[in-house]
Amino acid sequence: MQTLLKLLRISFMTLPLLAMQQAKPTRVIFFGDSITQAGVGTKGYISQMKEILQSRGMGDQYELIGAGIGGNKIYDLYLRMEEDVLAKNPDVVFVYVGINDVWHKRTHGTGTDPDKYVKFYEAIIKKLQANNIKVILCTPSVIGEKTDYSNEQDGDLNYYASMIRDLSRKHNLTLVDLRKDFQEHLAANNADNKDRGVLTTDRVHLTEAGNKFLAEKMLDGLLKK
Amino acid sequence: MQTLLKLLRISFMTLPLLAMQQAKPTRVIFFGDSITQAGVGTKGYISQMKEILQSRGMGDQYELIGAGIGGNKIYDLYLRMEEDVLAKNPDVVFVYVGINDVWHKRTHGTGTDPDKYVKFYEAIIKKLQANNIKVILCTPSVIGEKTDYSNEQDGDLNYYASMIRDLSRKHNLTLVDLRKDFQEHLAANNADNKDRGVLTTDRVHLTEAGNKFLAEKMLDGLLKK
Amino acid sequence: MQTLLKLLRISFMTLPLLAMQQAKPTRVIFFGDSITQAGVGTKGYISQMKEILQSRGMGDQYELIGAGIGGNKIYDLYLRMEEDVLAKNPDVVFVYVGINDVWHKRTHGTGTDPDKYVKFYEAIIKKLQANNIKVILCTPSVIGEKTDYSNEQDGDLNYYASMIRDLSRKHNLTLVDLRKDFQEHLAANNADNKDRGVLTTDRVHLTEAGNKFLAEKMLDGLLKK
Amino acid sequence: MQTLLKLLRISFMTLPLLAMQQAKPTRVIFFGDSITQAGVGTKGYISQMKEILQSRGMGDQYELIGAGIGGNKIYDLYLRMEEDVLAKNPDVVFVYVGINDVWHKRTHGTGTDPDKYVKFYEAIIKKLQANNIKVILCTPSVIGEKTDYSNEQDGDLNYYASMIRDLSRKHNLTLVDLRKDFQEHLAANNADNKDRGVLTTDRVHLTEAGNKFLAEKMLDGLLKK
């Protein structure tokens, strides 16, 4: 009897500890470009995701880490993935890249060919999966907010978005279709057909509202079963 | 009786004049790029327009003249308009240019800035109108036939088309909205989302079917009251 | 005696005419882009040319007029030459354009093809000469001041300069070879191989020293017999 | 005893021969783009190197392996270096890449930014050196053979060549300065300032003479002490 009591006592004492141990938060890395680099700022999308999780009482369940560098394209992610992602042992990685791969064709002549975009993307997916990391894909949001399909690089951006959708199907991965989400939101909220100022400050980088919108969509992707 | 004879005499004298006047066909010049240059070929759109007019018994009412040169952009038209258009005293001029203004941004780095496109376009309209020529505007058809809005330059081409629509409204000119016409036709006839082969051979230049489709749309524009 | 009187009478009559003729300054228009637009500023090259002429006691002999507009390429000059040049009845016109024709290939995808550059250039020369205007050609200076031939667009700029040299030979026109002048000056004065800061503020637009250097070269061209 | 001495004598004589034979040939991989892909063809530069080595009686001392893929840029080499280079355990690797990194800026809008060119280049050098492989760097040859410095991308190509020279100094690596070699050869052998036809067929890819010239320069680099 004494032994039983003793065991029970131990159980009562260790249970919380076990619970705490089970409560080890899911480590999530956002792997991307300048939008993600800004995402860890005060009102950045990653910071806003943390706030939302907190407000829903889920703050302890997730550890959100930004790994964004301005100007990055798909091959830049590949080059630094060991150091900036794998070394941190994440459970989940959002890959959110593609805007510069398209945009820089026009601004610097240094975008990424579609076939190589896919090749590097698949190399990244493969390495992440080889490390048992859940991979979540994101389509590139916008380069210009006009809603009449006349943003200069809309066609090309749609093409890269379609390649990412194909990758998500092929590899059976969760997709956050930001391109679609942004376009739908703008169709409803940009009656003046402005090229910036609703979700972005400069056609690409996000306003606080843009970061909030992105935070919600990313969270949907994270919590999707 | 004398009066009747007098009237008859006048009739006999004036009839031939009237006939001659009626017989003088409306002179129409198609002012454009390689698509229009090819338009005077055996199955080109201008040749097909002539055939259609003939088949409707209107062959004598219109004289159709091609004035297209490969690679031309809006400013090339401006440079050669005295010689190739005004010198020929046309009654009607179709201005069909813009594809190279967009396309060559990607292929040669030598497209045309939007504001300058409009500036040269208006200079052409002004000169034609100063010569009492009816001006008909055409939006640029396609650079790529894909129907999911993912042809690389769709966005920019849509923008140039919208500027031409604005010009037609501003100057109260007949518009042949080829961009819209082609996109609607392709939406209905390109289920496989091919980038060429329906109306074009190479994403831009027209197949025989493409020339036929264009001929019909141009004729609608010509006969529009 | 009669002859003498006659001669005197002629002298009295023609003197004022001669005086007027001597007094009327040579009207010189500088036709170009943003460099020329800035040329009429306080320390701009045209203002500095005026000062130099003044200091040499030749201030009354020349009227220097700037006709530069930022972003202009060869075809922009053609479009506005009636209004901005011919309407002002100049005696001499400096054509100084070409930097944007090359530069904008990289920055906007809207440079000018070499063959069209020559075509518009010759159309301008022809119109100026038809109006008995002396034409002076200038090669484009620099896009980047590095002296080891590694400014990104050096090759293309050299090509456009060579086309202008060809035009000056073909049409027997005075040439101010700014490209050559600037490169020689930089070879001697830019030991650190800097891409800006010697004659330009931003690889293209001129410092005060750059404006002074340009003023001297332009003046040499103007006074060349 | 005599037999033993005899055997010993033979051993002493043959040992060096055996040693020479045991001198497993130096395995050399040429890591590059389409020029290297063509290099293994009948008259390709790698094939011609083999012939030259053979003719000098050094055919057994080197094993030359081509690892070139058309369209490759620096980051494409990085992506496939494990499989195509490291897996083959080479003793020496020539890295000959950069033409597409510059060229595709103009043709596809998909060149490589200078800073990223260096970053990927150093990542490749580091991995090769970590595997005890001797690394030989090559500057990019030509895009256009004109000798008056007016090939469109001369300036940019010179810049990338200079970055590679810097890398060879910084990492103390053998350099084959093809850019310099080609320019000197053309200066002496292209009096007509042709843009192709001396060492290249199309401004980039090599003629048989071009392959021969390249073979000699690469061999110099390989045999350099």
The per-residue pLDDT for A225 is 73
Report the gap between the CA of A186 and the closest CA in chain D (Å): 28
Q: In sequence order, what E strands does D33-172 have? A: 62-68, 92-96, 134-138
Measured between beta carbons, the chain B residues lying within 8 angstroms of A153 are 155-156
* Chain B touching partners, 3 or more CB pairs below 8 A: A, C
Q: What is the mean pLDDT of residues C87-103?
A: 98
The residues on C that touch A, with CB distances below 8 Å, are: 106-107, 109
Average pLDDT value for residue range A215-223: 98
B123 to C79: CB separation less than 8 angstroms, yes or no: yes
Residue D212 maps to a domain: yes
Note the pLDDT tens digit of each residue in A46-69: 999 999 999 999 999 999 999 999
Of B148, B153, B162, the CB nearest to A148: B162
Nearest to B155 by CA among D107, A139, A157, A162: A157
The pLDDT assigned to C225 comes to 73
Helix H, strand E, coil C: the string for chain C is CHHHHHHHHHHHHHHHHHHHHHHCCEEEEEEECHHHHHHCCCCCHHHHHHHHHHHCCCCCCEEEEEEECCCCCHHHHHHHHHHHCHHHCCCEEEEECCHHHHHHHHHCCECCCHHHHHHHHHHHHHHHHHCCCEEEEECCCCCCCCCCCCCCCHHHHHHHHHHHHHHHHHCCCEEECHHHHHHHHHHHHCCCCCCCCCCECCCCCECHHHHHHHHHHHHHHHHCC
Q: Given pLDDT bands bounded at 50, 70 and 90, which one contains residue B22?
A: low
Residue of A nearest to D113 (CA): A110
In chain B, pLDDT over 90 holds for what percent of residues? Answer: 89
Q: Where are the beta strands (DSSP E) in chain B?
A: 26-32, 62-68, 92-96, 134-138, 174-176
Q: Which residue of C has its CA nearest to D159?
A: C150
B79 and C123 in contact by Cβ < 8 A?
A: yes
Closest CA of chain A from D76, distance in Å: 8
Shortest CA distance from A107: residue in chain C: C107
Residue A23, in any domain of the structure: no
pLDDT along chain D (225 residues), means of 10: 60 53 86 98 98 97 98 98 98 98 98 98 98 98 97 98 98 98 98 97 98 98 92
Give domain status of residue A40, yes or no.
no
Dihedral (CA of C51, C54, C55, C58) sign: positive
Average pLDDT taken over every residue of chain C? 93
Kindly determine whether residue C106 and residue A109, on different chains, have CB atoms separated by under 8 Å.
yes
Q: Report, as an integer, the average pLDDT of A179-194.
A: 98
C12 inside domain: no
Instruction: Select the residue from D107, D108, D158 to test the C interface by mutation, using most C Cβ atoms within 10 A.
Output: D158
CB D74 within 8 A of CB D98: yes
Contact A79 D123 (CB under 8 A): yes
* pLDDT number for residue D1: 54
CB contact under 8 A, A155 and B149: yes
Contacts of B112 in chain C (CB under 8 A): 110
DSSP for residue D17: H
CA atoms within 13 A on the CB side of B144: 20
Q: Average pLDDT, whole number, for chain A? A: 93
Q: What are the Cα distances from residue A53, in Å, to A14, A35, A56, C15?
A: 27, 20, 5, 96
pLDDT score for A11: 56
Rounded CA separation D26/A109 (Å): 40
Q: Does the beta-carbon distance from A112 to D113 stay under 8 Å?
A: no
Query: Hey, are the CB atoms on C158 and D144 less than 8 Å from each other?
Result: no
DSSP structural state of residue A88: G
Residues spanned by the domain of C110: 72-223
Q: Does residue B144 belong to any structural domain of this protein? A: yes
CATH number for the domain spanning A77: value is 3.40.50.1110
How far, in Å, CA of D34 to CA of A17, rounded? 61
Interchain pair A150, B148: CB under 8 A: no
Q: Let me know if residue C52 belongs to a domain.
A: no
Q: Do C154 and D152 touch (CB under 8 A)?
A: no
Residue B121 distance to chain A (closest CA, Å): 19
| Number of domains into which chain A is organized | 1
Asked whether residue C116 is assigned to any structural domain, the reply reads yes
Cα(B110)–Cα(B93) distance, integer angstroms: 26
Chain A residues contacting C via beta carbons under 8 Å: 106-107, 109
How many angstroms away from the CA of B100 is the closest CA of chain A? 15
pTM for the model stands at 0.90
List CB contacts (< 8 A) between C165 and chain D.
Answer: none
Can you tell me the ipTM of this complex?
A: 0.89
Q: Which of C115, C117, C152, C179 to mutate to test the interface with D (most CBs of D within 10 A)?
A: C152
Q: For B157-216, what is each residue's pLDDT tens digit?
A: 999 999 999 999 999 999 999 999 999 999 999 999 999 999 999 999 999 999 999 999
Residue burial D29-65, b: 16+ Cβ < 10 Å; e: rest: bbbbbbbbbbbbeebbbbbbbbebbeeeeeeeebbbb
Query: What pLDDT, in 10s, does the model give residues A100-158?
Result: 999 999 999 999 999 999 999 999 999 999 999 999 999 999 999 999 999 999 999 99
Closest-CA residue of chain C to A110: C106
- Which of B75, B109, B120 is closest, CB to CB, to C105? B109
- Kindly list the residues of chain D whose beta carbon comes within 8 Å of any beta carbon in chain A: 75-76, 78-79, 104-106, 108-113, 116, 119-120, 123
Residue A184 lies in a domain: yes
Looking at per-residue pLDDT, the higher value among C2 and A135 belongs to A135
Tell me which chain A residues have a C-beta less than 8 angstroms from the C-beta of B150.
155-156, 158-159, 162
CA distance B130 to chain C (A): 16
**A155 and B159 in contact by Cβ < 8 A?**
no
Q: Distance (Å) from the C-alpha of residue B105 to the closest C-alpha of chain C?
A: 4
